[in-house]
Structure 1
């Protein structure tokens, strides 16, 4: 199969995001790699999100508007998107984040070079109004399970991973960092994640996001380690390491 024939399925949960989702979808439409499908799953929005999604679907058949019958939460919604995806690759993009145009193309190039099946990128950051922060988040070239336990360097909206890994591993429990738990479980299989140290993800930091509440995010990190089977003392240890690494990370972002 030629590289151009590889279909990437992009999963985008959407809930009351009329303010940002147009930018998010447009950043997918602007990708230099064009063989993708975008599954946008409305999770019971009360604003105009569903109407916006449907309008994009009418204009471009690669955009697949979907609607949950009731609010399911982000984990179940992502799982539903994965189940309905038809591509060999899964990418995630939150409805308030953005991609740089070369994101998918560059990741697939790395995949071909290293036979990689799990890839992620660095990030730049914007606030709720789209104003950029000066700092960027740099990522290592490769990450193993042991390294990822110390600090989650994998942003969900930057990931590109083979769909086969989601056959037995699902996103669970919205009261923790459900994506981090999935990355750890995949890497625990012996998989190596390959990082592209370029800010190809534009991550929006909002007051209501998980990353915006530091005490909440510490508790959620602890729950991740307990969920994957690490004992309480070990979970507290890795939570502390993760917290210190996160403090250093955000100091660099908010320059």
Structure 2
């Protein structure tokens, strides 16, 4: 019996330094029934030519190009419209999966009869070197916990289209992944992760993760724009977010023993 198809959503933009390794991490999956849908957002480097070369040798990889630079949300939604899998997974063009990622997650979904799961992940720097940090989450993640802190790495989330339908990515410019998982948790109330690290998240110099100010600014936008909260309530929510970051989340960001 053929295993269900997994559609992997990958936006790309000027990622010539990383895209080969990212695609190879998908090709190295022990779970083989997948399609990787890459939507390029008008790269000006060699990203597109690299993807074209690889996809010419592997028909599971599909490349689409936007006519104008439109942002990752439009790129992800364009890829989503092309997806035909039972499961939707996300992988940005500079992040990496471990070989057992899909196999373990699909088995976990089936074993526990779940429509959504995610996993722990590790952080690497721009050169691919380990930062000796693993991001974990509560074993039974609630909507309330997620409301104050995004425990779900975008590169780890996977959901069942038969249960949710295709969930359109938010038009909010940043923190789209957090909004995505909030939409899911609002429906299913709690989520369980595969309790091991299955991916590598690359922290780049210009990324939101590298700037605490940018992280706070965009998180505030989630409360104001997505949740449509007034200014005072949004400020109170940000205080709750900061409380979570300082007192709780460090317990889930663990150093990896050498």
TM-score calculated relative to the size of structure 1: 0.92
Matched, 1:117 2:115: yes
1:210 is matched with which residue? 208
**In 1: Cα distance, 2:240 partner to 2:32 partner:** 40
Deviation at 1:116, TM superposition (A): 1.0
Q: Post-superposition shift, 1:86?
A: 0.6
1:181 deviates by 1.2
CA RMSD of aligned residues (A): 2.0
Matched, 1:101 2:81: no
Q: 8 Å contact 1:10–1:36 — kept in the other structure?
A: yes
Q: Secondary structure at the match of 1:25?
A: helix
Question: How many pairs align?
Answer: 252
1:12 to 4, 10, 17: 10
Question: Which of 148, 151, 159 is the matching residue for 1:150?
Answer: 148
What is the TM-score with the length of structure 2 in the denominator?
A: 0.91
Q: Distance in 2 between matches of 1:207 and 1:14?
A: 17
For 1:139, the equivalent position in structure 2 comes to 137
Between 225-234 and 83-92, report the one with greater CA deviation.
225-234
Q: CA deviation at 1:50?
A: 0.3
Q: Quote the offset at 1:168 in angstroms.
A: 5.7
The 8 Å contact of residues 125 and 204 in structure 1, kept in 2 or not, is answered as yes
2:43 pairs with one of 45, 50, 56? 45
Question: Match of 2:188, SS?
Answer: coil
Shift of the 206–188 alpha-carbon distance from structure 1 to 2, 3 Å rule, reads same
Structure 1 pair 58/247, CA: closer, same or farther in 2 (3 Å)? farther
Change (3 A) 1:254 1:173: same
Report the CA distance between 1:192 and its aligned residue.
2.9
* Separation of aligned partners in 1, 2:255 and 2:120: 16
Shift of 1:114: 1.4
The aligned counterpart of 1:91 is 89
Q: Flag structure 1 segments of 5+ consecutive residues without an equivalent.
A: none
- Give the aligned partner of residue 35 of structure 1: 33
Return 6-15 or 111-120, whichever deviates more: 111-120
Partner-residue secondary structure (3-state), 1:23: helix
